């Protein structure tokens, strides 16, 4: 095939997809919070897969990304065994995408450059509604406990003894789309009489580890963070547990959601989900990092993220185009 002919065929395919998406959006009678590109006729709050097989994605190479925390290069090695397992299960090449922000990870899937991902709990609703993400699994803890907790940390010698003592302080929040690092404390702390951004100064650190290290180094007076990140940093010797004190902790939230983009070929999507569920986690490179985990278990977005979505709604979150701007502010 000539380069000119290939170019014409590519242009025709793009035009067909644009026309089909526009028609699909016009004909859709139920989409909830989903972007206009998607439809939700079965009511599960996830983007329905295309009904036309010609619109299914079945690429030779699948791109994988994990929620941005610490050094992406470190986590590429951590996830290497899972990526090898996904490659074997799907018969595809798997390539790592080192996202450096929540926005970059959502944008990548939204633009068709990311197929499989693990999104932080607070970023999952944005990925679902803006990028067509289908969360299918999460890590299952050995002790049977659910999810992770928001913990408010302060330096060990701090005079802060309670949430009420945050008034007038400099507090690190992670990013506007972070559940434990921003939206949950804005709601939960307000219920305790402290309004973040009014009663204390919010300084966005960008990542949970930045918040944690900033408290240890005295850059911030306090920080709400995910205990799962703190525990891993302590285990790796990056943080001395005695340098910090826990002032408050919340009830559990769901952990990182792993899944795929809505328009993958159904057989391929099924292989990906099964690969997560039958992965030999405790004999893998992942277990070296997530020692509290025994494997992956299934999730239900509509049920498992109900509380997170409610918290985000209470803080004014929007899952339309303005919501994308919120992510870009991370």
Contacts of 117 (CB under 8 A, 6+ apart): 64, 65, 66, 105, 109, 127, 133, 258, 259, 260
pLDDT score at 147: 86
Q: Which residue intervals of 45-203 are DSSP H helices?
A: 72-78, 80-90, 102-110, 124-131, 184-191
In the chain, what are the helix, strand and coil shares in percent, each to the nearest 5? Answer: 45, 20, 35
Domain ranges of the chain: 57-140+254-328, 150-249
pLDDT score at 13: 39
Query: pLDDT digit string (tens) for 216-258?
Result: 999 999 999 999 999 999 999 999 999 999 999 998 888 899 9
pLDDT score at 316: 85
**C-alpha–C-alpha distance, residues 221 and 158, integer Å:** 8
Fold match flag (57-140+254-328 vs 150-249): yes
**C-alpha–C-alpha distance, residues 263 and 255, integer Å:** 24
pLDDT score at 177: 79
- Closest-CA residue to 213 (of 240, 191, 192): 240
Domain 150-249 has CATH 3.40.190.10: yes
**pTM score:** 0.76
pLDDT score at 4: 39
Q: Per residue of the chain (330 residues), give pLDDT as tens.
A: 443 333 333 333 333 443 344 445 558 989 999 999 999 999 999 999 999 999 999 999 999 999 886 666 678 999 999 999 999 999 999 999 998 888 899 999 999 999 999 999 989 999 999 999 999 999 999 988 778 899 999 999 999 999 999 999 999 999 987 899 999 999 999 999 999 999 999 999 999 999 999 999 999 999 999 999 999 999 999 999 999 999 999 988 888 999 999 999 999 999 999 999 999 999 999 999 899 999 999 999 999 998 899 899 888 888 876 766 666 544
CB 121 within 8 A of CB 255: yes
CA 49 to chain centre: 21
pLDDT score at 318: 86
| Residue whose pair of structure tokens reads 């569920």 in the numeric block | 277
The CATH class of the 57-140+254-328 domain is alpha beta
């Amino acid at each position: 095939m000539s380069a000119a002919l290939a170019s014409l065929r590519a242009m025709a395919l793009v035009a067909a997809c644009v026309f089909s998406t526009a028609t699909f959006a016009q004909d859709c009678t139920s989409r909830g919070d989903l972007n206009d590109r998607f439809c939700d006729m079965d009511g599960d709050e996830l983007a329905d897969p295309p009904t036309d097989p010609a619109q299914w994605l079945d690429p030779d190479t699948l791109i994988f990304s994990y929620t941005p925390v610490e050094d992406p290069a470190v986590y590429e090695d951590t996830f290497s065994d899972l990526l090898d397992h996904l490659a074997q299960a799907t018969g595809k090449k798997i390539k790592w995408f080192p996202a450096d922000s929540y926005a970059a990870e959502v944008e990548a899937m939204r633009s068709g450059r990311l197929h499989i991902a693990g999104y932080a709990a607070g970023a999952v609703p944005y990925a679902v509604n803006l990028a067509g993400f289908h969360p299918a699994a999460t890590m299952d803890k050995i002790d049977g406990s659910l999810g992770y907790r928001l913990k408010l940390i302060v330096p060990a010698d701090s005079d802060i003894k309670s949430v009420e003592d945050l008034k007038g302080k400099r507090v690190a929040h992670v990013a506007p789309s972070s559940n434990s690092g921003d939206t949950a404390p804005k709601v939960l702390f307000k219920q305790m009489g402290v309004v973040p951004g009014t009663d204390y100064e919010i300084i966005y650190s960008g990542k949970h580890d930045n918040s944690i290290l900033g408290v240890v180094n005295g850059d911030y007076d306090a920080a709400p963070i995910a205990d799962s990140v703190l525990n891993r940093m302590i285990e790796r010797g990056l943080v001395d547990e005695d340098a910090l004190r826990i002032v408050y902790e919340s009830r559990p939230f769901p952990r990182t959601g792993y899944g795929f983009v809505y328009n993958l070929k159904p057989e391929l999507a099924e292989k990906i989900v099964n690969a997560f569920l039958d992965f030999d986690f405790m004999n893998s490179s992942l277990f070296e990092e997530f020692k509290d985990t025994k494997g992956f278990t299934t999730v239900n977005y509509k049920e498992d993220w109900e509380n997170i979505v409610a918290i985000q709604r209470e803080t004014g979150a929007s899952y339309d185009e303005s919501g994308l701007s919120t992510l870009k502010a991370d």
